[in-house]
Amino acid sequence: MDLKDKLRRFAAEQPKQNRPSRASNLDAILHGREITNAFGSYYLVERVFPADYFHGCLTLGHALTADIHGLALIANDSALTNINFERTLFFDTETTGLAGGAGTCAFLIGVGFFQGEQFIVRQYLMRDYHEEQAMLYDLHKFLSQYDAVVSFNGKCFDWPLLRDRFVLTRFTPLNRTFLHLDLLYPARRLWRSELPDCSLHSIETHILQVSRGADLPGNEVPQRYFDFVRTKQGDLLVVILDHNRNDILSLVILTSVIGLLMQQPARNLNSASTCCALAKVYVQNKTWEKAISYYQRAAELAEHDGETIDLSQMARIYRRLAQWENAVPIWQYLAENCADIQAYEELAKYYEHICKDYQLAKQTAQRGLALALTKDRTRVSAFEYRLERLERKLTKAKQLELLTS
């Protein structure tokens, strides 16, 4: 008996498991409908929300007037200035695993979109693995009607997973270039130092004022789905669809909150860490006046919050703006109180090139050299070169003085 015969015999001896072929009460529980196309069937659930529906701190409709340029700036993607939220899908997936890879598939794909005065959440559900092709076929057609997507960590997980599943099910790959606003990255830039972590749950709790109550943790979703596939008990899916739907609604509100934040002048903000985060965004964009306004507000707030701000960065911006009256006190503070080698170098440059006070520049460079010898010997040669040049300038100045006296 060869191996194949042994395996067949072993399989025949195993007790038959009466696995239900289909959930009988799904319509009554999920309030959706079965969809059939050329590739089979799947299940579709839709919920309609008015644009003035509150989810947390804002209404859904706020997203339609979000500051596009501000969102593009903090997302570091200038192409997003072309996004139109009336032709944008907010999407999230629930998958059979959190690690990705060819064995992972999205059993629930939720998309949200504005239609007139309404926001519609459409959820594509495969009730078993053989329904994936039918589900993806209709999703593929639906995606072609839109120009942009909004996600949370979608660039690294959800979108590549969908793209791979389209290929594996032999559908035409998503060749169109969608504008993609992944809110994870702006959220990290804004609240990395302020929140315990930058998960969507943490942002909901601390920023969006969303309380989900008894929500299903994301890491328990795959097992809950496996239990449904095995038992076909529709009530197992209710909490998964609620979780997915709330994720999508939170994406809409998070888009609005970040957009509103980017419109706020520095004086209206009350968080030093947020002001510093926005200042860094404008530094990267070389918008120096705005950057310094947020740093100044951060400095005001830091006195009360006990937070620290990047004084060196502030001084560099003041230097770019030639606001020496603001830059010099910062360098003096950093040099005297923080033993900052760079501050000594900046002061020496200022005294030499702006004030033309070569003696004071020499004294400052000597202090910087002494500090570099003990803290960072890689900076020694720069101070030595500066001191040699200052000596030549002082000697020349003395010679001129003697000639004119």
pLDDT confidence tier of residue 8, bands split at 50, 70 and 90: low
Distances (CA, A) of 351 to 195, 335, 337, 347: 42, 14, 20, 6
Domain with residue 144: its CATH number is 3.30.420.10
- And the tokens for 318? 């003041």
Q: What is the pLDDT, as a whole number, of residue 57? A: 94
User: Considering the domain boundaries, does residue 44 fall inside one?
Assistant: yes
Whether residue 15 has pLDDT greater than 70: no
pLDDT confidence tier of residue 98, bands split at 50, 70 and 90: confident
Q: Note whether 278 and 399 are same-domain residues.
A: yes
Whether residue 25 has pLDDT greater than 60: yes
Q: Note whether 35 and 184 are same-domain residues.
A: yes
pLDDT confidence tier of residue 305, bands split at 50, 70 and 90: low
| Maximum average pLDDT range among 213-217, 252-256, 303-307 | 252-256
Closest by alpha carbon to 199, among 153, 241, 243?
153
Closest by alpha carbon to 152, among 120, 114, 110, 210?
110
Q: Note whether 161 and 115 are same-domain residues.
A: yes
Q: Note whether 197 and 241 are same-domain residues.
A: yes
CA atoms within 13 A on the CB side of 34: 13
Give every CB contact of residue 65 below 8 A, 6+ residues apart in sequence.
259
Q: Note whether 227 and 355 are same-domain residues.
A: no
Q: Could you report the per-residue pLDDT of 351-392, keeping only the tens digit for each?
A: 999 999 999 999 999 999 999 999 999 999 999 999 999 999
pLDDT confidence tier of residue 403, bands split at 50, 70 and 90: confident
How far apart, in whole angstroms, are the C-alpha atoms of residue 260 and residue 239?
A: 31
- E-strand spans in 99-171? 106-115, 118-125, 148-151
Helix (H) or strand (E) holding 43: strand 40-50
Q: What is the pLDDT, as a whole number, of residue 303? A: 76
- Per the DSSP assignment, residues forming a β-bridge with 40 are 37
pLDDT confidence tier of residue 10, bands split at 50, 70 and 90: low
Residue ending a domain, choose from 198, 230, 263:
263
pTM: 0.85
Q: Note whether 74 and 173 are same-domain residues.
A: yes
* Residue type, position 148, single letter: A
User: Considering the domain boundaries, does residue 170 fall inside one?
Assistant: yes
**% of the chain surpassing 70 pLDDT:** 91
How far apart, in whole angstroms, are the C-alpha atoms of residue 326 and residue 321?
A: 10
Q: Note whether 285 and 258 are same-domain residues.
A: no
Domain with residue 273: its CATH number is 1.25.40.10
How far apart, in whole angstroms, are the C-alpha atoms of residue 81 and residue 67?
A: 9
User: Considering the domain boundaries, does residue 15 fall inside one?
Assistant: no
Whether residue 191 has pLDDT greater than 80: yes
pLDDT confidence tier of residue 21, bands split at 50, 70 and 90: low
Greater confidence, 312 or 102? 312
- Per the DSSP assignment, residues forming a β-bridge with 149 are 89, 180
User: Considering the domain boundaries, does residue 142 fall inside one?
Assistant: yes
Residue-wise burial string across 301-331, b where 16 or more C-beta atoms lie within 10 A, e elsewhere: bbeeeebebebebbbbbbbeeeeeeebbebb
- And the tokens for 223? 């097992």
Tally of domains in the chain: 2
Whether residue 38 has pLDDT greater than 60: yes
Q: Could you report the per-residue pLDDT of 149-178, keeping only the tens digit for each?
A: 999 999 999 999 998 898 888 776 665 688
How far apart, in whole angstroms, are the C-alpha atoms of residue 29 and residue 170?
A: 33
Q: Note whether 385 and 256 are same-domain residues.
A: no
Q: Note whether 277 and 293 are same-domain residues.
A: yes
- And the tokens for 313? 């960065």
Residue with tokens 């399989």: 11
User: Considering the domain boundaries, does residue 13 fall inside one?
Assistant: no
How many Cβ atoms sit within 10 Å of the Cβ of residue 253?
Answer: 24
Q: What is the pLDDT, as a whole number, of residue 215? A: 85
Q: What is the mean pLDDT of residues 318-334?
A: 95
Whether residue 262 has pLDDT greater than 80: yes
User: Considering the domain boundaries, does residue 12 fall inside one?
Assistant: no
Whether residue 22 has pLDDT greater than 80: no
User: Considering the domain boundaries, does residue 187 fall inside one?
Assistant: yes
- Structural domain including 100 reads 21-263
Give every CB contact of residue 328 below 8 A, 6+ residues apart in sequence.
347, 350
Residue ending a domain, choose from 233, 263, 293:
263
Residue ending a domain, choose from 245, 263, 281:
263
* Residue type, position 255, single letter: T
User: Considering the domain boundaries, does residue 129 fall inside one?
Assistant: yes
Q: What is the pLDDT, as a whole number, of residue 185? A: 96
Closest by alpha carbon to 234, among 104, 40, 41, 43?
43
Q: Note whether 386 and 310 are same-domain residues.
A: yes
Q: What is the pLDDT, as a whole number, of residue 242? A: 95
Q: Note whether 215 and 302 are same-domain residues.
A: no
Q: Note whether 227 and 336 are same-domain residues.
A: no
